[in-house]
Structure 1
Amino acid sequence: MSACLFWLLLIATYDFRQRRVPNWLVLAGAAMALAALAWGTGPRGNDWAGALLGAGVGFGALLLFYALGLMGAGDVKFAGALGLWVGAWALLPIWVIGSLLAGLHAALWLALQRWPVSSRFSLMLFGPPSSVDSRSSPTRTRFIPYAAYLALAAAAWMVWGRQSG
């Protein structure tokens, strides 16, 4: 489980700093999840069927948001890899918590549009100004690190789940 928590920390850190999730990091997490399943050390109650269903649900549900231009491809791939770790049923509370955190981020961004803040705080919260996704509109900047919020929500779910069991 500590390997998954470390992976989630890397995802969150990378997405907060770069506003992207690299393929190598998603693949590393998926490979670790498959290894944990093979060795029987994955999360409690998650078997091969649950993990594969989780990967499909995680990837498939967010694919629509990517197709609509509302989310980056890294977020979608990360959700699929996360589904391997936690299974389909755990994705719902993780999505709810992650989406609430992302919504708070967006609300703060909107509020700060009218209030001047230090450039360092703005950079930390909203990422570098050059974080434009080249596949989307050149004027569209991705301010919300959704994979980071999903990773934080998943880490909280894993820690809470271990303590309640």
Structure 2
Amino acid sequence: MPHLWLLWLLLVTVHDARQRRVPNWLVLLGAAIALGALAMNTQPFGIKWPDALIGATLGFVFLLFFYVAGLMGAGDVKFAGALGLWVGWQPLLPIWAVASLLAAAHGITWLLLQRWALFPKLATLLSGKPRNADAPGLSKRARPIPYAAYLALAATVWMIWGRQS
């Protein structure tokens, strides 16, 4: 089951890094696998129903404030809720902290590259601008930071190192 979780995190990371969005089908897939693992008592991290449901609620509600403020996309918020189903509520704060540090480094690097265009291709990559901004259905709002990707990376770090302490 941890392999499914890692595959899901990889898919979210790649999708968010490339397109700056996490589609509903990907969020629902992760949530469905997490719920299935809980129902079959094969949850890889020993999380029980109450912790999983509290984690999903906290993950969603906390990041919802950032969405309402226009600082984050809806996919990031929904992904955080699905992530909470997997990890429960206790590791959410360290996962958020690591993801936020990674996102801050991304943002600072992007801002510096905007000001001093030393590496224009890297600046474009970090900007999150769609390849075809005129395509129908694409948001015109810039989303330079793929926060769900950083949440997924931080969750992977938690799975590998954080659970050992």
- 2:4 counterpart residue number: 3
Note the C-alpha offset of 1:119: 4.4
1:35 to 1:78, Cα distance in 2 relative to 1, 3 A: same
Note the C-alpha offset of 1:116: 1.7
- 2:159 counterpart residue number: 158
User: Contact conserved, 1:43 with 1:86, CA < 8 A, in 2?
Assistant: no
State the number of aligned residues: 160
Unaligned runs of 5+ in 1: none
Note the C-alpha offset of 1:117: 4.1
Note the C-alpha offset of 1:114: 1.8
State the SS of the aligned residue for 1:89: coil
Is 1:59 the counterpart of 2:51 in the alignment?
no
**Percentage of pairs with the same residue:** 60
Structure 2 length as normaliser, TM-score?
0.89
The AA in structure 1 aligned to 2:76 is D
Tell me how far apart the structure 2 counterparts of residues 44 and 52 of structure 1 sit (CA, whole Å): 14
Tell me how far apart the structure 1 counterparts of residues 45 and 99 of structure 2 sit (CA, whole Å): 21
Tell me how far apart the structure 1 counterparts of residues 108 and 114 of structure 2 sit (CA, whole Å): 10
1:2 to 1:161, Cα distance in 2 relative to 1, 3 A: farther
1:58-77 maps to which residues of 2 (within 5 A)?
58-77=59-78
Could you list the structure 1 runs, at least 4 aligned residues long, displaced by more than 6 angstroms after superposition.
Answer: none
1:19-34 maps to which residues of 2 (within 5 A)?
19-34=20-35
User: Contact conserved, 1:54 with 1:91, CA < 8 A, in 2?
Assistant: yes
1:74 to 1:11, Cα distance in 2 relative to 1, 3 A: same
Note the C-alpha offset of 1:10: 0.5
Tell me how far apart the structure 2 counterparts of residues 39 and 106 of structure 1 sit (CA, whole Å): 41
Tell me how far apart the structure 2 counterparts of residues 60 and 54 of structure 1 sit (CA, whole Å): 10
Tell me how far apart the structure 1 counterparts of residues 105 and 116 of structure 2 sit (CA, whole Å): 16
